[in-house]
Amino acid sequence: MLSTALKPKWIAMLGLALLLATVFVVLSAWQFGESQTESVTDHEVTENPVPLTETFQPEQAMSGFDADQMVTLSGQYVEGTEVYVSDRLQDGDLGYWVLGAFAVDGAPDDEVIPMVRGWVEDPEEAGELPSGELEVEGRLLPTEAPVSEERTQRLVFPSLSAAELMNYWDLQSYSGFVVAFEMTEDGEDVLIPEGTGLQEIGVDPQPETSDINWLNLFYGVEWTVFAGFAFYLWWRLVKDAHERELEDAELDRQWEEQWKREQVEKLRAERAAGAEHAGGAGSAEGHTDHDQEGR
Clarify whether residues 169 and 275 are in a common domain.
no
Clarify whether residues 52 and 168 are in a common domain.
yes
CATH no. for residue 198?
A: 2.40.50
Q: Is residue 176 part of a domain?
A: yes
Lowest mean per-residue pLDDT among 10-14, 147-151, 154-158, 209-213 = 209-213
Give the count of beta carbons closer than 10 Å to the beta carbon of residue 171.
15
Q: Is residue 36 part of a domain?
A: no
Domain boundary, last residue among 191, 208, 225:
208
First to last CA, the chain: 83
Mean pLDDT of all residues in 6-11: 79
Clarify whether residues 94 and 122 are in a common domain.
yes
- pLDDT tens digits for range 57-71: 998 888 877 888 999
Residue 112 CA to residue 75 CA, distance in Å, equals 9
Domain boundary, last residue among 157, 182, 208:
208
Convert 146-158 to b/e letters by CB count within 10 Å (16 or more is b): beeeeeeeeeebb
- What does the DSSP 8-state code read for residue 207? P
Q: Is the pLDDT of residue 286 over 60?
A: no
**Average confidence score pLDDT of the chain:** 85
Clarify whether residues 22 and 159 are in a common domain.
no
pLDDT-based confidence at residue 236 (cuts at 50, 70, 90): confident
Q: Is residue 190 part of a domain?
A: yes
Q: Is the pLDDT of residue 43 over 80?
A: no
Q: Is residue 292 part of a domain?
A: no
pTM of the complete model? 0.59
Q: Is residue 127 part of a domain?
A: yes
pLDDT-based confidence at residue 244 (cuts at 50, 70, 90): confident
pLDDT of residue 295: 52
pLDDT-based confidence at residue 281 (cuts at 50, 70, 90): low
Q: Is residue 221 part of a domain?
A: yes
Clarify whether residues 198 and 218 are in a common domain.
no
Clarify whether residues 233 and 92 are in a common domain.
no
Lowest mean per-residue pLDDT among 21-30, 62-71, 213-222, 227-236 = 213-222
pLDDT of residue 40: 46
Pick the more confident residue, 268 or 215: 268
- What does the DSSP 8-state code read for residue 204? P
- pLDDT tens digits for range 127-168: 999 989 999 999 999 999 998 777 667 899 999 999 999 999
What is the domain extent for residue 144?
43-208
Residue 55 CA to residue 177 CA, distance in Å, equals 14
Positive or negative torsion for Cα 101, 87, 160, 64: positive
Q: Which amino acid is at 115?
A: M
pLDDT of residue 216: 74
Clarify whether residues 66 and 142 are in a common domain.
yes
Question: Please, which residues have CB within 8 angstroms of residue 149's CB and are 6 or more apart in sequence?
Answer: 158
Q: Is residue 63 part of a domain?
A: yes
Helices (H), the chain: 2-5, 8-34, 43-46, 52-55, 162-169, 214-294
Residue 252 CA to residue 259 CA, distance in Å, equals 10
Mean pLDDT of all residues in 261-287: 75
Clarify whether residues 118 and 260 are in a common domain.
no
Q: Is the pLDDT of residue 181 over 90?
A: yes
Pick the more confident residue, 195 or 220: 195
How many percent of the chain have pLDDT more than 90? Answer: 44
Lowest mean per-residue pLDDT among 131-140, 185-194, 219-228, 271-280 = 271-280
Q: Is the pLDDT of residue 38 over 70?
A: no
Domain boundary, last residue among 208, 223, 246:
208
The number of residues making up the chain comes to: 295
Clarify whether residues 245 and 186 are in a common domain.
no
Clarify whether residues 137 and 224 are in a common domain.
no
Clarify whether residues 49 and 91 are in a common domain.
yes
What's the structural domain count of the chain? Answer: 2
pLDDT of residue 46: 85
pLDDT of residue 135: 97
Q: Is residue 293 part of a domain?
A: no
- pLDDT tens digits for range 82-113: 999 999 999 999 999 999 999 999 999 999 99
Clarify whether residues 99 and 195 are in a common domain.
yes
